[in-house]
Structures are given as C-alpha cells and as structure tokens.
Amino acid sequence: MKRNMSVAGSFYPANGTEIKRYFAHFSKLYDETKQLPHIKPKAVIVPHAGYVYSGYTADIAYRMLQNAGLKTVVVLGPSHRVAFEGVSLGRYESYETPFGVIEANDILAKEIAERFGLAFVASAHVEHSTEVQFPFIKYYLPDVRIVELVYSDTTPFYLSKIIEFVLEKKDCGVIISTDLSHFYTQSDANKLDSVCLNAIANLDLKALHQGCEACGRIGVEAMLQTAIKMELQTQILDYRTSADASGDMSRVVGYVSACFMDKN
C-alpha cells in the first residue's frame, strides 16, 4: 500500500523540477551569508508550512542531515484534522513524492508498533505536518527509508520513549515537525516564539510551558526529554515568520529549525 500525496500543489509544488528551484534558491540565500555547520544531527526540528513560507528554514536542517549517514528516519508530526487517542503508525510500503517514492522501513515500523502498541488510524495520515517533509527527505536523503508517526491525544513522556528507542538504533534519525505561534502580530509572535526557542536551545522543559504555542509542542517536549536523557547537544539553525515571505506583519506564523547531536 502506497501513501499518496494529499497536499502536493498547495503546500509544495507537485512538480519535482519546480521544487528543485525552491531548494536551490533556499541554499543560495543561505550560502551567501553563512557557512553550513559541520554537524551530524541525530534529530532535527523542522516546520511544516507551505514551502514559500517555511521552506528556507527546513532546507537548512535537511542539508545538514545529508552528512549524518542515516539509513532510516522516523517522521513525527501532530494531527491537524483528525482527533484520536495516541499515536498512529503509517502502515504503508512506500510514500509518494514528486521525486519518486520513499520506501518504508517495514522492520522498524513493526518493532515500534509491537513495542509501543501503536495502531494505524488511516484518516490521520492525510496530514501535511508529515507529508511536507517527504520531498525534502527524498531529495536530500534519496536512499533513506522512513517510518511515519502522527500523534493526537498523547503525552510527551510516551513519545520520548519512542524517540529514544529509535535513536538508540544504528543509522536511525528522527524528524520532529512543528510550526510555532499562529496569527499574532510580528511583535507578539517574536515574544511568544522566543519562549520556544530558548527552551529548545537550553533543553529547558519548564520554559517550554511558559508561553510556547507550537502546534507540535508535544513532539518538541518529547524530543527535549530524550535529548536530556541521552545527553545530546542542541543548536537553533533558523527562526523566522511568514512575514519574511509575505510582508504581512499583522497575522504571522512562526517557524524554527534546530538540530540535536552527540556531545563532542
């Protein structure tokens, strides 16, 4: 069974050639002013809005994942349209993208499902928070296999156990999908989002509850819990809002990318 694209043509172009132009543009903009850090991430946080708004922020993280030597990534995103209890594991053989299909890691998926008792809620996987990551994955990590997890009513502690289980495996990484605050003025969004950024940068779980309005906060908190337990370092890669692309500072959405890696 293949997971077909559901938001191609809206959140991202349906044509691979057009997506390549986006990626080339994002990379050129970054390289004109910065040098990509020499880091091999075990996990990243990335946004999931339309590429025109958040693609630049996500692109940085995926370029870094190219150097991580990963063979499997677990993509973890919040459910925006379907409410259900727990975490749904995508039981697909492959995932469609404009660059071709990504093969699923059936062995790891089965291990996770059995160990943590995860079911498959098919309706939850018509979900953009995970799908917008797939073209990035196929382009930057063309040979990698994936496992898709979509969560709704669950706890950070439960998710952190899954993340830890994955990261303890050789050549496996985790992608945490989230946007930040939604539809505040630029000034208010910067204030709210700074709470999230500081919490991620300092692995501060208490700070995360002092005003962070990330739609994927449960996943972010789970990642921070895992990073603390596994003694990982963290680094913010980029922060911006939709105003950087639209110019509209009256109702913005915040975006962040960050990476987690072993301590030197």
Q: What is the dihedral of CA 201, 205, 208, 210, to 10 degrees?
A: -120
- Per-residue pLDDT of 117-170, as tens digits, reads 999 999 999 999 999 999 999 999 999 999 999 999 999 999 999 999 999 999
**Nearest one of 78, 200, 95 to 141, comparing CA atoms:** 95
| Phi, psi for residue 49 in degrees, rounded to 5 | -85, -175
Calculate the CA 17 to chain-centre distance: 23
Residue 53 to residue 63: CA distance in whole angstroms: 18
Q: Report the percentage of the chain scoring pLDDT > 70.
A: 100
Residue 109 to residue 93: CA distance in whole angstroms: 10
- Per-residue pLDDT of 196-219, as tens digits, reads 999 999 999 999 999 999 999 999
**Nearest one of 254, 259, 96, 63 to 176, comparing CA atoms:** 259
Residue 263's pLDDT is: 86
DSSP per-residue codes, 133-183: HHHHHHHHSTT-EEEEEEESB--HHHHHHHHHHHHTSTTEEEEEE----EE
Secondary element (H or E) of residue 73: strand 72-78
Q: Is the pLDDT of residue 264 over 80?
A: no
Residue 45's pLDDT is: 98
Using an 8 Å Cβ cutoff, are 76 and 43 in contact? no
Residue 225 to residue 231: CA distance in whole angstroms: 10
**What's the topology of domain 2-262?**
Protocatechuate 4,5-dioxygenase; Chain B (3.40.830)
Q: What is the mean pLDDT of residues 81-93?
A: 97
Which two structure tokens, joined as six digits, stand for 49?
A: 């809005």
Q: What is the mean pLDDT of residues 234-248?
A: 97
DSSP letter at 69 equals -
Q: Is the pLDDT of residue 78 over 90?
A: yes
